[in-house]
Amino acid sequence: MAEPRVPLFEHRLGRRVEFHETDAAGLAHFSSFFHYMEEAEHALWREAGLSIAPPDSAFGWPRLEAAFAYHRALRFEDEFEIHIRITAIEEQKIRYVCVLRRDGKKIATGTLTIICVSKRPGEAMKAIPIPPQIAARFRAAPASHD
């Protein structure tokens, strides 16, 4: 396995709409877009040589905010691209923007904010600084006019 190119700020992932992701009208269900965004996020982490949820980890990444604006429909078997970018890294949070495109046309734009928390057994989760070994693998993307 090649050494990951770090620090990373974006990842592109090709995808196809599966039947189980559609509604009765044959359109990708609105909730599927959140799965697509999370799938691209996890692929970004893997490209950086990390897992967002390693076994027995002392910390986790709950979602603070997630939103999508829908511009065009996706249908069963449509092929599309998911482009996720880190827009900000703070002491405890990472913010992403995610754009889905089909044939170069914007389908949807999403945002996601995650926070690093401790998850020790028997203790309540609390926000903690992003561990240095993770923070070193990522950076915020340059300004974009996407």
Q: Are 92 and 26 in contact (CB under 8 A)?
A: no
Instruction: Reply yes or no on domain 10-135 having CATH 3.10.129.10.
Output: yes
Q: What is the pTM of this model?
A: 0.92
Q: Which stretch of DSSP H or E encloses residue 82?
A: strand 79-89
Low-confidence ranges of the chain (pLDDT < 70): 1-5, 145-146
- List CB contacts of 4: < 8 A, sequence separation 6 or more: 47, 48, 49, 137
Per-residue confidence (pLDDT) for residue 139, from 0 to 100: 96
Per-residue confidence (pLDDT) for residue 123, from 0 to 100: 86
Per-residue confidence (pLDDT) for residue 3, from 0 to 100: 61
Per-residue confidence (pLDDT) for residue 146, from 0 to 100: 59
